[in-house]
């Protein structure tokens, strides 16, 4: 018989979304910087199990390689924020959220967005964690 109370948290307000994007996953770039497709190289702040591949989810800070885009962006390592993921996740109010595709937005090392607009919706979890990026979003879901 299991111990009572293990794994429960009372009074949690925000739950981190499911991390569904492993290292090596490709995702679209949702801003107007010139990058079109990104590949995840590492997840900043991810502490996983030994020999387990790191994963990213909505609101996570990643390092990515630009695979498609303008010639000055291609083959560059950039920092980005994941703003949408296709895998469904659950909010604390019971609502389940999923998007049509995976997308990220490029940022500077200081955390400011590199583009001036975001195409498509942005998840509320990412907007709460990165308010400067949320400032250029057209819609926050």
Verdict on whether the full-model pTM lies above 0.85: yes
Under DSSP, the state recorded for 26 is E
Query: 């569904």: which residue's tokens?
Result: 20
- For 75, other C-beta atoms within 10 Å of its C-beta total 10
pLDDT in tens, 98-127: 999 999 999 999 999 999 999 999 999 999
User: Does residue 70 lie in a domain region?
Assistant: yes
Domain span at residue 86 reads: 21-140
Q: What CATH code is carried by the domain that includes residue 59?
A: 2.40.150.20
* Residue 16 within any structural domain of the chain: no
Number of domains forming the structure of the chain: 1
What is the C-alpha radius of gyration for the chain, rounded to an integer number of angstroms?
Answer: 16
Q: Residue 27's pLDDT is what?
A: 97
Residues of the chain with pLDDT under 70: 1-14
Q: How far apart are CA 114 and CA 139, in angstroms?
A: 18
- Domain membership of residue 79 (yes or no) is yes
Mention every residue, 6+ apart, whose C-beta is less than 8 A from residue 5: none
Residues comprising the chain, all counted: 141
The answer to whether position 2 is within a domain reads no
Q: Evaluate whether residue 6 is within a structural domain.
A: no
């Amino acid at each position: 018989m299991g111990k009572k109370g293990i794994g429960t948290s009372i009074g949690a307000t925000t739950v981190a979304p499911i991390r569904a994007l492993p290292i090596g996953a490709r995702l679209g770039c949702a801003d107007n910087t010139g990058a079109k497709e990104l590949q995840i190289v590492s997840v900043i702040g991810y502490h996983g199990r030994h020999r387990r591949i790191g994963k990213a989810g909505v609101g996570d800070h990643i390092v990515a390689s630009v695979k498609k885009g303008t010639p000055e962006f291609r083959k560059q390592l950039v920092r980005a924020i994941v703003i949408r993921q296709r895998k469904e996740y659950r909010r604390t109010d019971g609502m389940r959220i999923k998007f049509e595709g995976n997308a990220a937005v490029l940022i500077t090392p200081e955390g400011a967005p590199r583009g001036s607009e975001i195409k498509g919706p942005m998840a509320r979890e990412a907007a709460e964690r990165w308010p400067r990026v949320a400032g250029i979003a057209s819609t926050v879901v």
